Amino acid sequence: MEFQFKNKTVVVTGASSGMGYAIAQSFVKEGATVIAVARRAERLEELKESLKDASGVLVPVTADLAVDENNSLMVETAVKEGGRIDVLINNAGMMDEFMPIGEVDDALWDKVFKINLDSPRHAMKAAVNHMLSDGKGGVIINIASIGGLEGCRAGAAYTASKHALVGLTKNTAYMYAHDNIRCLAICPGGVKTEVGKYASHPSEKGIQRVMSGLDANIRQADVQEIADLVLFMASEKADFVNGTAITVDGGVSAN
Ligand code: NDP
């Protein structure tokens, strides 16, 4: 299937690995100008190098999105590079240490909320106001998680942050439904990425509880399966899909 992203400007956060890398790559291959944001500059350069023959353009932006103002700055970069922002993909995120509420401390809670919820919040505010200002609208896609719909997938901080992101997604879709701005969430189950590698002191109880529910998993998704869905949902072919949280887990959570 071909998508029309030529002359479109897209921001993809967390583009240095996993799903974000594949999403940014796919948009550039479809002709978009992509502002690819993450902290690891060398990974973004590697991504740019992989796309030198593609029809679109990759603009690497090295930034820590836990710093609030970097989120509006990346949106400004998109407007400077492409004249406007057409699509915002809030993908950057982190897991927690599977800590249930009895174990989680403020530092971990705040760190997880900063990147999983505050970063999308600040980016969405900046993007929505640009989309409203020229009346052309746009699309916002938040990579939430099956942990944003269920209580059995992660620790308290990750689960609460992704539930909040799903709520923010729905509210934004409803508020701007007459302004040609669509906002939706993608909720993957397990995907083959680097997301688990940062757990340094996981909760024994948390791990045991989460793992005991994973027997029904069919397999992990490949990052390209998520990227393909994101491109479809960001395209005009999905014009009437708005305010929903789309599960991508092969049917496991349909029980
Ligand atoms: P990865 O760890 O592979 O990618 C996470 C990305 O987020 C990296 O590019 C990382 O870049 C970026 N990132 C993290 N913190 C920051 C920060 N402070 N500032 C800027 N960028 C940051 O994981 P995934 O691809 O799996 O994760 C992508 C999204 O998907 C996340 O929101 C995750 O919660 C969600 N998800 C993942 C699932 C899975 O099973 N993998 C399942 C469901 C949802 P860098 O380190 O260079 O800054």
| 171-180 tens-digit pLDDT | 999 999 999 9
Is 189 part of a structural domain of the chain? Answer: yes
Active site residue 198: no
Long-range residue pairs from 45-52, CB within 8 A, at least 24 positions apart, any chain: 47/15, 47/16, 47/21, 50/25, 51/25
pLDDT at position 1 is 63
Is 113 part of a structural domain of the chain? Answer: yes
Is 1 part of a structural domain of the chain? Answer: no
pLDDT at position 229 is 98
Q: What percent of the chain has pLDDT over 90?
A: 91
pLDDT higher than 90, residue 10: yes
pLDDT at position 213 is 77
246 ligand 1 Cβ < 6 A: no
pLDDT at position 165 is 99
Q: Separation of 179 CA from ligand 1 center, angstroms?
A: 30
Is 177 part of a structural domain of the chain? Answer: yes
**Closest ligand 1 atom to Cα of 66:** 18
Is 4 part of a structural domain of the chain? Answer: no
To test the pocket of ligand 1, the residue of 17, 111, 153, 163 to mutate (highest count of ligand atoms within 8 Å of its CB) is: 17
Q: Separation of 127 CA from ligand 1 center, angstroms?
A: 20
Coil, helix or strand at residue 189:
coil
Residue nearest to atom 8 of ligand 1 (CA): 14
207 ligand 1 Cβ < 6 A: no
Catalytic member of 21, 158, 174, 176: 158
Is 3 part of a structural domain of the chain? Answer: no
Is 236 part of a structural domain of the chain? Answer: yes
pLDDT at position 200 is 87
33 neighbors 18 (Cβ within 8 angstroms): no
**pLDDT tens digits for range 45-73:** 999 999 999 999 999 999 999 999 999 99
**Mean pLDDT along residues 209-236:** 92
pLDDT at position 199 is 82
pLDDT at position 195 is 82
Residue-range definition of the domain harbouring residue 241: 9-254
Is 103 part of a structural domain of the chain? Answer: yes
**Mean pLDDT along residues 106-134:** 98
Q: Supply the pTM of this predicted model.
A: 0.98
- Which strands form 57-62's sheet, in the order they lie side by side? 57-62, 33-38, 9-13, 87-90, 138-143, 181-188, 245-248
The CATH code of the domain that includes 144 is 3.40.50.720
> What is the count of structural domains for the chain?
1
**pLDDT tens digits for range 74-116:** 999 999 999 999 999 999 999 999 999 999 999 999 999 999 9
